[in-house]
A and B are shown apart, each in its own frame.
Chain A
Amino acid sequence: MFATSTQRHFWMFKDETDVSNARLSANIKYISSRGRNMTVIEREAHFLNVVEEKSLIMSYEYQLRDFCRKFHPPMPRYVIGTALHYLKRFYVNNSVMDYPPKEILVTCVYLACKVEEFNVSMDQFVGNLKGDREKAAAIILNNELLLMQQLDYQLTVHNPFRPLEGLMIDMKTRFPTFSDPERLRPGIDEFLEQVFYTDAILIYSPSQISLAAIIHSASTSKENVDEYITKILFSEDQKRLLNLIEAVKKIRVMVRNVQLPHRDTIKALEKKLALCCNPDNNSESPAFKKRMKQSFDEEESFEDGQYPSASSDQVRSMLMGLSEMGKI
């Protein structure tokens, strides 16, 4: 359940400013570690700032969705939801410049398929990718453990889809005056698609999001489900009703403000990213390749937790995360 899950206990924020703060700290950490010898102005020109990072992430989220939509066999929406969740969580803790988003994106989808029990073999998976398949498989497998480590090994994600079904069933049973809630489905689906591009999933519980979807869809079709909410859901707790109304309003505002960044801006940002990204983690760069070759030659074993892209304090967090692996 959401109330006892790690999602609620470790991955929730108070509001959007908190999320931005977390991203800001990750950004600052990266810049300060890489740009030690530059002046402030140089840094600003060279590195991406938080806003630019956010736009980049949003564009990659769109790419993820496109990838999943064309996926063969057809991917159910909760897998996509989980993958987007992972992507968001990863880039709350890390900067876009540190790890190339393209690779992390694919790894997120792969891991989500595994966790949500949507069984796809590696061959099938990379069959959906363009380009060198073996290389892609190697990239995914290399990044998988890193991704899990950055998620603190807390892989269970509660998506709004099942609460949505539950609310539908409840509405049909206890609120028969509202005829055929299925009419609201298209609006709901669209809303839920959009909500994944916001930070709402990191702030509100999935059942609140699905309720917001229902309300939104109802209001666009000029219907009114307020009676359902006040009389039936919250008949006993009137004060919590206010809390919920507040939450729903905020979610709807967030979704309304979603804006896909312009393609030209994205192109420019990607060029900038290519310059300032961390060469150790970018599998294209010669430095990375050299390091990988070195590690193979020395037959380094990863006993000390040194995955190709991890640092020593992340090792500590990994060890902590291992102890929490059982919690859901």
Chain B
Amino acid sequence: MDDYQTCPKCKTTKYRNPAMVLMVNACGHALCESCVELLFAKGSGACPECKCPLRRNNFRVQLFEDPAVDKEVDIRKRILKEFNKRQEDFPTLREYNDYLEEVETIIFNLVFDIDPTNTNKMIDNYKKENKDITQKNRNRQSQEEMELEELLEAEKAQQSEKANLYVNAELEEKKQKHKAREKLIDELMFSDADAKSIVASHVQATAALAKEQPKAAAQPSSGVVKSSKFSSGIQIGLRGQHTNSFLPIPKQEDLPLYRYTAPVFDYDGPPPPPIEKLGKLNYFANIRAANIAERAGGYTEAMSCCRALQEALGGLFYSPQLTHKTAVLATNSSTQDTDDMETT
């Protein structure tokens, strides 16, 4: 794609000069920016391909790959400014279609330079006949555009209002919780009633409050009533889709809490004393104390003492068993033999 965009005059490509921008002129041919400047440095120029006279401000930055498309887009814009009748202006569909076809013919002729004189005459004729209608349509268009803009702005305002409301509601909730907690503490301190009943009544009050919250939030704030549809029937904005997005998340039911269970080791021997009790049992008198360097690294005598004791006491109950793989193979073959014997 980059290679395609070559300036026909100086032949630089986007590959060689990534900042190169092609400009399109009125006759539909492309020239890179530097060539355009060059051309008009020597006074007004002619298009290098078709030699039609050009003016500097007739050059637009190319939007499409094919300069011909750009040219057509330009012409279309220009023509449609003049030929801006709409469907409502015609009594029948057939006439509207005829009108549209006429417009397309004009554009086509202009783009491909077919019969320019006649086409231009047609345009002028049309202009004369439909001057006032064109003017009226122009006004109507601008009005509609303004309305659209207003609608968009209003919706933005509404959304920000909702967000603010939500933040405020949260703050309120926090304040209330805080107050309730303080109230509870005060009551516990000063009232004479039974502590349990006070706590229970507080729990009830907070539960009742919690129920009220979602109801309040569910009512949408009634802002300015604006039309929610375009004139053609399409809905404006995302209004229908997320009015419920600011509700608080429903509380999950209580799942069982994680409970830590310490791992159990089978020492196959008398149980060694746990590492925490070693100091009390005076084991450290019989083991080399950790020097400062070792202690700084996190090592304590308890660790090596505990390990030595575990290894010493572990395995004392062990009785000899055959676990070597030759045994496994041997037992397999012997069971096979017995199976054969049973079947026969």
Which residues of A come within 8 Å of B, CB atoms? 1-4, 8-15, 18, 21-22, 25, 92-93, 152, 158, 162-170, 172-174, 202-208, 210-211, 233-234, 236-237, 240, 243-244, 247
Structural contact, A204 and B318, CB atoms closer than 8 A: yes
Interface residues of B in 287-323 (CB under 8 A from A): 287, 305, 307-323
Q: Is B248 engaged at the interface, CB distance under 8 Å to the other chain?
A: no
Q: Is B325 engaged at the interface, CB distance under 8 Å to the other chain?
A: yes
Query: Contacts A166-B309, A167-B312; is A173 near B281 (CB within 8 Å)?
Result: yes
A89 to B314, CA, bound (A): 23
Q: Is B283 engaged at the interface, CB distance under 8 Å to the other chain?
A: yes
A174 to B272, CA, bound (A): 12
Q: Which of A93, A166, A204, A233 contacts B311 (CB 8 A)?
A: A166
Q: Is B267 engaged at the interface, CB distance under 8 Å to the other chain?
A: yes
Residue contacts A-B, CB under 8 angstroms, 24 given = A1-B265, A2-B318, A8-B323, A12-B322, A14-B321, A14-B322, A25-B326, A152-B325, A162-B311, A163-B314, A166-B313, A169-B312, A170-B309, A172-B285, A202-B324, A205-B318, A207-B313, A208-B318, A210-B312, A234-B270, A237-B270, A244-B317, A247-B318, A247-B319
Q: Which residues of B contact A237 (CB under 8 A)?
A: 270, 317
Query: Contacts A15-B320, A166-B310; is A3 near B315 (CB within 8 Å)?
Result: yes
Structural contact, A3 and B267, CB atoms closer than 8 A: yes
Number of A-B contacts (CB under 8 A): 134
Structural contact, A164 and B312, CB atoms closer than 8 A: yes
Structural contact, B319 and A169, CB atoms closer than 8 A: no
Shortest CB-to-CB span from B304 to chain A, Å, is 9
Structural contact, A172 and B286, CB atoms closer than 8 A: yes
- For the complex with contacts A162-B311, A169-B309, 12 further pairs of A-B residues with Cβ separation under 8 Å are A3-B265, A4-B266, A12-B323, A14-B320, A18-B322, A25-B326, A163-B312, A169-B312, A204-B320, A207-B314, A207-B315, A247-B319
Structural contact, B320 and A3, CB atoms closer than 8 A: no
A174 to B278, CA, bound (A): 12
Interface residues of B in 260-285 (CB under 8 A from A): 265-270, 281-283, 285
Query: Contacts A173-B281, A207-B316; is A163 near B270 (CB within 8 Å)?
Result: no
Structural contact, B285 and A173, CB atoms closer than 8 A: yes
Structural contact, B318 and A1, CB atoms closer than 8 A: no
A166 to B265, CA, bound (A): 18
Q: Which residues of B contact A162 (CB under 8 A)?
A: 307-308, 311-312
Query: Contacts A166-B313, A169-B305; is A3 near B268 (CB within 8 Å)?
Result: yes
Q: Which of B270, B316, B324 contacts A11 (CB 8 A)?
A: B324
Q: Which residues of B contact A15 (CB under 8 A)?
A: 320
Shortest CB-to-CB span from B90 to chain A, Å, is 81
Q: Is B193 engaged at the interface, CB distance under 8 Å to the other chain?
A: no
Q: Which residues of A contact B316 (CB under 8 A)?
A: 205, 207-208, 211, 233, 240, 244
A167 to B313, CA, bound (A): 8
Q: Is B157 engaged at the interface, CB distance under 8 Å to the other chain?
A: no
Q: Which residues of B contact A164 (CB under 8 A)?
A: 312
The residue on B at minimum CB distance from A209 is: B315
Q: Is B52 engaged at the interface, CB distance under 8 Å to the other chain?
A: no
The residue on B at minimum CB distance from A152 is: B325
The residue on B at minimum CB distance from A229 is: B316
Q: Which residues of A contact B322 (CB under 8 A)?
A: 12-14, 18
Q: Is B225 engaged at the interface, CB distance under 8 Å to the other chain?
A: no
Interface residues of B in 121-145 (CB under 8 A from A): none
Most buried by B among A22, A165, A169, A240: A169
Shortest CB-to-CB span from A19 to chain B, Å, is 8
Contact with A along B75-110 (1 / 0, CB 8 A): 000000000000000000000000000000000000
A243 to B320, CA, bound (A): 10
A161 to B270, CA, bound (A): 19
Query: Contacts A15-B320, A169-B287, A243-B317; is A2 near B325 (CB within 8 Å)?
Result: no
Shortest CB-to-CB span from B303 to chain A, Å, is 13
Shortest CB-to-CB span from B213 to chain A, Å, is 53
Q: Which residues of B contact A233 (CB under 8 A)?
A: 270, 313, 316
Q: Which residues of A contact B327 (CB under 8 A)?
A: 13, 18
The residue on A at minimum CB distance from B319 is: A243
A91 to B281, CA, bound (A): 45
Q: Which of B267, B319, B321 contacts A1 (CB 8 A)?
A: B267
Structural contact, A3 and B314, CB atoms closer than 8 A: yes
Query: Contacts A162-B307, A173-B282, A173-B283; is A2 near B314 (CB within 8 Å)?
Result: yes
Most buried by A among B270, B310, B311, B323: B311
